């Protein structure tokens, strides 16, 4: 019987130092040297780590490995966006690379499928299988960096920003999310600024509470409705954590955080004639009066079988201008990668659904869109 090797991508610096001391009988600085090889040089071959002595390299080869998800498929958008299907076990999650003039953002998944059931999200239609391991979260960043490589002319890092906005709800996997975030921020890891790493949540208050005092990164919240009645219709998580409970926890987090500069990013998907009326905009402005926020409007990105539609440009513009009257900073997200289904809400992988959600939808005779409240 073959013993499964220990994947060193599952350890942040603290855990790796403990492993080296307690399991390998090695000093902490050896763990630091190893981290540089893994994250600074993208090295997964112990034999190439020439500042580690041969005895240690042989010890590592015997019991350890450095195994990131691998790319099973890549799709390239006309706008430069790349969507990778990353193989994790016998399933796929999707990771999206979004280059821009002054940044290169990676959208990372946290679950195989999604445990939530937001009605407007393509990932939710696939159901849920499991949480990703630390190695499968940080491994997406590692693999993407290898795929892109450093720009030889400028020396610019292949990835400058990470957003936890891929498949899954990050705060339902907070146990594995936190070490992965540590590795993104650690100078021996990817060394990203805390303001350039963003966690997005649909409102898992228990997970957000665990972040307070344990990690400092930018926070984005998927709100998408200004009232509990409407939000519960399109986001069932609201039945567990209502808007007031959610926003109270958000205020506690941003009060503890330097990365957010005193305010949170509110994501609001615009669904035609569902949540995009002028009254909804006024309700949203009133709702957020005690929560310092900038608002990011996201026109709905259609996917096959969805009952929703993208609002007209005039409705989007009216909604935005209504919010701006209340002196909010408001942006409209520019859609990227929609020609390869890599835009917000369009991500799907290869998911072995454990929730029976997929089969339920397949047997439904009719999908009825939610009416505006």
What's the CATH architecture for 70-363? Alpha-Beta Barrel (3.20)
- Distance, in Å, from the CA atom of 143 to the CA atom of 266, rounded to the nearest integer, reads 30
Q: Could you tell me what percent of the chain has a pLDDT over 90?
A: 78
Question: pLDDT tens across 12-64, in order?
Answer: 999 999 999 999 999 999 999 999 999 999 999 999 999 999 999 999 999 99
Among residues 26, 94, 136, 350, the one annotated as catalytic is: 94
Question: pLDDT tens across 222-277, in order?
Answer: 999 999 999 999 999 999 999 999 999 999 999 999 999 999 999 999 999 999 99
Sorted by where each begins, the domain ranges of the chain are 6-65, 70-363
pLDDT of 155 = 52
With cut-offs at 50, 70 and 90, classify the pLDDT of residue 149: confident
- Distance, in Å, from the CA atom of 111 to the CA atom of 133, rounded to the nearest integer, reads 9
Average pLDDT over residues 187-210: 98
pLDDT of 301 = 86
The DSSP secondary structure of 87-111, one letter per residue, reads EETTEEEEEEEEE-SS-EEEE---E
Question: pLDDT tens across 97-137, in order?
Answer: 999 988 999 999 999 999 898 999 887 788 899 999 999 99
With cut-offs at 50, 70 and 90, classify the pLDDT of residue 286: very high
pLDDT of 339 = 58
Can you give the pTM of this predicted structure? 0.90
Residue 341 has pLDDT above 70, yes or no: no
- Distance, in Å, from the CA atom of 155 to the CA atom of 158, rounded to the nearest integer, reads 9
Binding positions are 114, 118, 121, 168-169, 200, 222-224, 301
Is-catalytic flag, 107?
A: no
Residue 127 makes CB contacts below 8 A (sequence gap 6+) with 113, 351, 353, 354, 355, 356, 357, 358
> Mean pLDDT over all residues of the chain?
90
pLDDT of 308 = 94
Q: Does domain 6-65 sit in CATH 3.40.50.300?
A: no
- Distance, in Å, from the CA atom of 294 to the CA atom of 320, rounded to the nearest integer, reads 12
Question: pLDDT tens across 347-364, in order?
Answer: 445 556 555 545 444 443
Among residues 64, 107, 249, 344, the one annotated as catalytic is: 344
pLDDT of 111 = 96
Residue 78 makes CB contacts below 8 A (sequence gap 6+) with 339
pLDDT of 365 = 34
- Which two tokens mark 22? 């307690």
Is-catalytic flag, 94?
A: yes
């Amino acid at each position: 019987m073959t013993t499964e090797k220990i994947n060193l991508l599952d350890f942040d610096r603290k855990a790796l130092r403990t492993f080296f001391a307690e399991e390998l009988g090695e000093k902490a600085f050896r763990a630091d040297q190893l981290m540089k090889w893994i994250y600074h040089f993208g090295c997964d071959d112990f034999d190439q780590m020439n500042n580690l002595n041969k005895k240690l390299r042989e010890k590592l080869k015997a019991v350890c490995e450095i195994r990131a998800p691998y790319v099973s498929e890549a799709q390239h958008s006309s706008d430069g966006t790349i969507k990778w299907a990353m193989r994790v076990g016998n399933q796929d999650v999707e990771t999206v690379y979004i280059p821009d003039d002054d940044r290169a953002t990676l959208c990372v998944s946290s679950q195989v499928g999604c445990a939530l059931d937001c009605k407007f999200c393509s990932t939710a239609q696939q159901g849920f299988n499991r949480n990703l391991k630390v190695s499968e979260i940080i491994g997406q960043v590692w693999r993407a960096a290898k795929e892109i490589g450093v720009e030889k002319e400028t020396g610019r890092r292949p990835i400058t920003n990470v957003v936890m906005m891929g498949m899954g709800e990050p705060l339902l996997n907070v146990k594995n999310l936190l070490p992965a975030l540590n590795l993104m921020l650690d100078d021996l890891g990817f060394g990203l600024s805390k303001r350039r790493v963003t966690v997005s949540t649909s409102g898992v208050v228990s997970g957000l509470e665990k972040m307070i005092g344990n990690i400092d990164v930018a926070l984005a919240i998927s709100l998408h409705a200004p009232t509990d009645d409407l939000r519960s219709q399109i986001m069932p998580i609201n039945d567990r954590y209502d808007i007031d409970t959610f926003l109270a926890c958000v205020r506690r987090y941003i009060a503890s955080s330097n990365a957010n500069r005193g305010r949170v990013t509110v994501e609001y998907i615009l669904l035609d004639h569902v949540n995009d009326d002028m009254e909804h905009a006024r309700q949203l402005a009133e709702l957020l009066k005690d929560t310092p926020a900038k608002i990011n409007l996201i026109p709905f990105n259609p996917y096959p079988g969805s009952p929703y539609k993208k609002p007209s440009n005039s409705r989007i513009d009216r909604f935005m201008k209504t919010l701006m009257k209340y002196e909010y900073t408001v942006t409209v997200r520019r859609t990227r990668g929609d020609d390869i289904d890599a835009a917000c809400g369009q991500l799907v992988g290869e998911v072995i659904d454990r929730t029976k959600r997929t089969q339920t939808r397949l047997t439904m005779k009719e999908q009825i869109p939610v009416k505006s409240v």
